[in-house]
């Protein structure tokens, strides 16, 4: 009777792992260096760090290599790695006004204080395949770099920081104020506690900062397209480096320990009237690790859409949004249906047969 | 702290003990999981939220059970892992190998020898004793999920013991199909208070939850819930006076391997003849029976 394996599970999965590894090495090309991935596939690295919720470019690049470029799997590896590390502390809250900006734009105003800085973006590139890249070698790579550096027009260096557009709107009384009275110790930690609903804003923002780009995009798009009411104006979108500061336990003064690249989006949406107050615009906020504008904007739209008191679409329902956009949870559950389910199927068969008998 | 360069060489092999702590999860997290487990034991059938950690095994593949096992296991424990009743099912092998690697504990296929048994979808056929712990992997901890999708609402329903919609669901099923359509994952009432999802075990196993000698722990990693049935707890499947709970009907069938007619059976289609045959779902018990018969 050869239809069911009684023994051999161990051997089977070991062989499957070998076959998977073989797929990576069967071609004749030289192995990818982790640093090549980090430098040349930086947007993939950024995405993995964001969804894996760990700012570690080298580990992210390694994970991308190890998973043959499956970014969900790579993010998953970073998360699993975090589990093995103790929690040493929390960094201090930081205003994005301190960001060392490499790109910032506002769709709300033609001119903004500090100016529109396009920075490194592919937004206005024609999506035409560049066949030169197909044959690029080391020398060509270097030449391009040197030429680009030589061609850069001598511009004044960017200022250390830029004023926040949203702050201007606040000063003019055009925006609803968020309640910022909560202290730092009230900040929820989604890695240490299970979400409960309604989730606090800190819990919601953390969840979305870790969420899968595609998941956030799908729900945000549903809202913008018609199953919702958020018609976003990008108040400000920034990409740049945020300082990370922690409190020195001995001197009790803040210490700069490094910086992380982030994308921040603030979207302005339709006005609302508070009770007995003047109508004001409302704001949606998005921030994620790395350069990932789609994610930051989607997050900002969903931050705003889930403020709805009476949700009438999926993207307005906080529980719906937060519980279904975590890529690592979703992908795990989706794929678990590949596991054997014959015991439960047998149980269902028993019910069906009995029910069919009853009908006869 | 491990240097970055070390990570290039440590592919979860010999160096794993140097790199990862005993039982993988950091000690602070283990302590939290144990505390939540104690709470679960103190309130039978109540789903305790916990800060579920990311495991190197995918969500939905047993991470809740795995976190319970890893937080409880000590060096003198003997571990058994099954999936669909089988020790050799690929996912069971994977989980057992992982726990072995990060703890070096002894493993066994013999239900009676194990101190901790992690399971997916079955309770072993052999009697479980005082001192053994059965850890269930749970995909959907919420028994009310099929009648109410919102977590916020189901939490309220549990708090108020508002279970009318569940009863109505069962009643409508009977009206429609003359049978309750739930196969596995049959809802139970625990200690007369909470309706609980017993994980996707077949109904065959449900009576084993009642007044057991063993501690049953349930872990849902993705949904971040732990719950428990302590030993000697009242566990009743939901049923009506005029429509009783019934287990799967295997009458007239027996295992073609060991010959038993008192176990949960897997139905197989024979390649050659195309006929249906049956074998025990609990493979180690089946093998034990065969060995005993051979003696």
Tens of pLDDT, residue by residue, chain B (295 residues): 444 444 444 444 444 555 678 999 988 899 999 999 999 999 999 999 999 999 999 999 999 999 999 999 999 999 999 999 999 888 999 999 999 999 999 999 999 999 999 999 999 999 999 999 999 999 999 999 999 999 999 999 999 999 999 999 999 999 998 889 999 999 999 999 999 999 999 999 999 999 999 999 999 999 999 999 999 999 999 999 999 999 999 999 999 999 999 999 999 887 788 888 999 999 999 999 999 988 7
Catalytic site includes residue B286: yes
Q: How confident is the model at residue A47 (pLDDT cuts 50, 70, 90)?
A: very high
Compute the distance between CA of residue B201 and CA of residue B280 in angstroms, rounded to an integer. Answer: 15
CA dihedral of residues B14, B20, B24, B27 (deg, nearest 10) = 150
Shortest Cα–Cα distance, A335 to chain B (Å): 8
**Contact predicate B64/B219, CB 8 Å:** yes
Q: Quick one: pLDDT at residue A4?
A: 45
Residue A3 has pLDDT above 50, yes or no: no
Compute the distance between CA of residue B142 and CA of residue B154 in angstroms, rounded to an integer. Answer: 8
**Contact predicate A306/A252, CB 8 Å:** no
Compute the distance between CA of residue B196 and CA of residue B158 in angstroms, rounded to an integer. Answer: 10
Catalytic site includes residue B131: no
Q: Quick one: pLDDT at residue A11?
A: 85
Catalytic site includes residue B28: no
Q: Which residues of A touch B277 (CB under 8 A)?
A: 1
Q: Which residues of B touch A84 (CB under 8 A)?
A: 19-21, 24-26
What is the gyration radius of the CA atoms in chain A, in angstroms?
Answer: 25
Q: Quick one: pLDDT at residue A281?
A: 87
Closest by Cβ to A332, choosing from B60, B120, B203: B60
Interval A102-116 mean pLDDT: 91
Q: How confident is the model at residue A158 (pLDDT cuts 50, 70, 90)?
A: confident
Q: Strands B188-190, B194-196: parallel, antiparallel or unpaired by DSSP?
A: antiparallel
Cis peptide before A274 (omega within 30 of 0): no
Q: What is the pLDDT of residues A323-348, one digit of tens each?
A: 999 999 999 999 999 988 989 999 99
Q: Quick one: pLDDT at residue A274?
A: 62
Residue A284 has pLDDT above 70, yes or no: yes
**Contact predicate B59/A339, CB 8 Å:** no
In chain B, the domains with their CATH numbers are 10-146+170-237 (3.40.50.11310), 249-295 (no CATH)
Place of tokens 């009242």: B234
Per mean pLDDT, which range of A64-78, A101-115, A164-178, A325-339 is the poorest? A164-178
Please name every residue paired with A280 in a beta bridge, in sequence order, or none if there are none: A272
For A55, the token pair is 């700012």
For B174, the token pair is 């009977």
Higher pLDDT, A170 or A329: A329
Q: Strands B225-229, B48-49: parallel, antiparallel or unpaired by DSSP?
A: antiparallel
Interval A63-67 mean pLDDT: 97
Q: Which residues of B touch A60 (CB under 8 A)?
A: none
This prediction's pTM: 0.89
Q: How confident is the model at residue A185 (pLDDT cuts 50, 70, 90)?
A: low
Average pLDDT of chain A, as a whole number: 90
Helix (H, G, I), strand (E, B) or coil at B106: strand
Alpha carbon distances (Å) from B18 to A32, A222, B6, B10, B15: 27, 48, 11, 10, 5
Q: Quick one: pLDDT at residue A2?
A: 38
Helix (H, G, I), strand (E, B) or coil at A16: helix
Q: Quick one: pLDDT at residue A72?
A: 96
Q: Which residues of A touch B61 (CB under 8 A)?
A: 332, 335-336, 339
How many other CB atoms are found less than 10 A from the CB of residue B36? 25
CA dihedral of residues A322, A325, A329, A334 (deg, nearest 10) = 130
Compute the distance between CA of residue B192 and CA of residue B13 in angstroms, rounded to an integer. Answer: 48
Q: Quick one: pLDDT at residue B197?
A: 98
Q: What is the pLDDT of residues A132-151, one digit of tens each?
A: 999 999 999 999 999 999 98
DSSP 8-state class, residue B21: B
Q: Quick one: pLDDT at residue B14?
A: 45
User: Within its chain, how far is the Cα of A193 from the centroid?
Assistant: 20
For A325, the token pair is 């956009």
Q: How confident is the model at residue A359 (pLDDT cuts 50, 70, 90)?
A: confident
Whether A7 and B59 lie within 8 Å, measured CB to CB: no
What is the gyration radius of the CA atoms in chain B, in angstroms?
Answer: 20
For residue A34, the chain B residue with the least C-alpha distance is: B8
Supply φ then ψ for residue A102, to 5 degrees: -115, -10
Shortest Cα–Cα distance, B59 to chain A (Å): 4
Whether the CB of B97 is below 8 Å from some CB of chain A: the reply is yes
Q: How confident is the model at residue A181 (pLDDT cuts 50, 70, 90)?
A: low
Whether B222 and A323 lie within 8 Å, measured CB to CB: no
Interval A71-80 mean pLDDT: 96
Instruction: Quote ipTM for the complex.
Output: 0.85
Nearest to A280 by CA among A163, A164, A166: A166
Angle subtended by helix axes A57-66 and A42-52, to nearest 10: 100
Catalytic site includes residue B258: yes
Catalytic site includes residue B45: yes
Shortest Cα–Cα distance, A307 to chain B (Å): 16
Higher pLDDT, A352 or B285: B285
Q: Quick one: pLDDT at residue B6?
A: 46
**What residue ranges do the domains of chain A occupy?**
9-83, 96-124+131-179+189-333
Q: Quick one: pLDDT at residue A12?
A: 85
Helices of type H across chain B:
4-7, 16-19, 27-42, 63-72, 90-103, 151-159, 164-177, 283-294
């Amino acid at each position: 009777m050869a239809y069911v394996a009684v023994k051999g599970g161990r051997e089977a999965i070991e062989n499957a792992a070998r076959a998977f590894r073989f797929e990576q090495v069967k071609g004749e090309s030289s192995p990818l260096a982790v640093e090549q991935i980090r430098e040349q596939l930086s947007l993939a690295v950024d995405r993995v760090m964001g969804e894996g919720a760990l700012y570690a470019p080298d580990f992210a690049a390694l994970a991308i290599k190890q998973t043959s470029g499956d970014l969900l799997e790579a993010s998953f590896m970073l998360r699993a790695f975090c589990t093995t590390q103790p929690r040493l502390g929390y960094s201090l809250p930081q205003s994005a006004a301190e960001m060392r900006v490499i790109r910032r734009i506002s769709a709300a105003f033609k001119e903004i204080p500090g100016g529109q800085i396009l920075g490194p973006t592919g937004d206005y590139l024609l999506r035409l395949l560049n066949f030169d890249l197909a044959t690029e070698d080391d020398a060509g790579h270097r030449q391009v770099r040197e030429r680009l550096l030589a061609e850069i027009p001598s511009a004044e260096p960017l200022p250390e920081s830029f004023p926040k557009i949203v702050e201007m709107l606040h000063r003019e009384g055009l925006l609803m104020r968020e309640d910022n009275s909560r202290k730092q110790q009230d900040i929820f930690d989604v890695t240490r506690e299970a979400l409960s609903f309604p989730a606090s804003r800190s819990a919601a923002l953390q969840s979305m900062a870790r969420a899968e780009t595609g998941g956030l995009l799908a729900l945000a798009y549903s809202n913008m397209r018609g199953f919702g009411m958020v018609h976003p104006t990008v108040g400000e979108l920034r990409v740049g480096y945020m300082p990370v500061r922690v409190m020195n336990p001995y001197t009790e003064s803040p210490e700069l320990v490094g910086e992380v690249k982030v994308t921040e989006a603030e979207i302005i949406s339709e006005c609302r009237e508070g009770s007995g107050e003047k109508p004001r615009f409302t704001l949606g906020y998005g921030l994620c690790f790395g350069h990932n504008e789609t994610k930051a904007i989607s997050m900002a739209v969903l931050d705003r859409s889930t403020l709805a008191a009476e949700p009438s679409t999926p993207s307005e329902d906080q529980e719906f949004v937060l519980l279904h956009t975590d890529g690592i949870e979703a992908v795990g559950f989706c794929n678990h249906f590949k596991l054997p389910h014959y015991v439960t199927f047998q149980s269902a068969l028993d019910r069906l047969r009995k029910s069919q008998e009853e009908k006869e | 702290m491990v240097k970055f360069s070390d990570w290039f060489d440590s592919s979860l092999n010999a160096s794993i003990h140097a790199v990862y702590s005993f039982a993988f999860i950091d000690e602070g997290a283990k302590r939290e999981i144990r505390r939540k487990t104690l709470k679960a034991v103190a309130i039978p059938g109540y789903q305790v939220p916990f800060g579920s950690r990311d495991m190197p095994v995918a969500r939905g593949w047993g991470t809740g059970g795995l976190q319970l096992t890893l937080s409880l296991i000590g060096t003198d424990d003997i571990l058994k892992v099954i999936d669909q009743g089988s020790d050799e099912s690929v996912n069971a092998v994977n989980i057992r190998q992982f726990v072995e690697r990060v703890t070096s504990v002894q493993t066994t296929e013999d239900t009676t020898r194990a101190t901790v048994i992690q399971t997916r979808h079955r309770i072993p056929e052999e009697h479980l004793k005082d001192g053994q712990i059965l850890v269930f992997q749970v995909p959907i901890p919420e028994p009310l999920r099929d009648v109410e999708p919102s977590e916020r609402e189901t939490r309220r329903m549990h708090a108020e013991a508002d279970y009318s919609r569940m009863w109505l669901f069962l009643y409508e099923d009977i009206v429609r199909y003359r049978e309750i359509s739930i196969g596995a994952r049959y809802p139970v009432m625990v200690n007369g208070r909470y309706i609980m999802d017993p994980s996707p075990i077949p109904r065959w196993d449900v009576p084993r939850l009642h007044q057991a000698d063993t501690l049953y722990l349930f872990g849902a990693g993705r949904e971040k819930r732990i719950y428990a049935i302590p030993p000697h707890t009242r566990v009743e499947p939901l049923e009506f006076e005029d429509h009783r709970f019934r287990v799967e009907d295997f009458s007239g069938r027996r295992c073609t391997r060991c010959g038993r007619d008192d176990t949960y059976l897997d139905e197989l289609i024979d390649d050659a003849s195309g006929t249906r045959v049956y074998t025990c779902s609990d493979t180690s018990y089946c093998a034990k029976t065969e060995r005993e018969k051979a003696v």
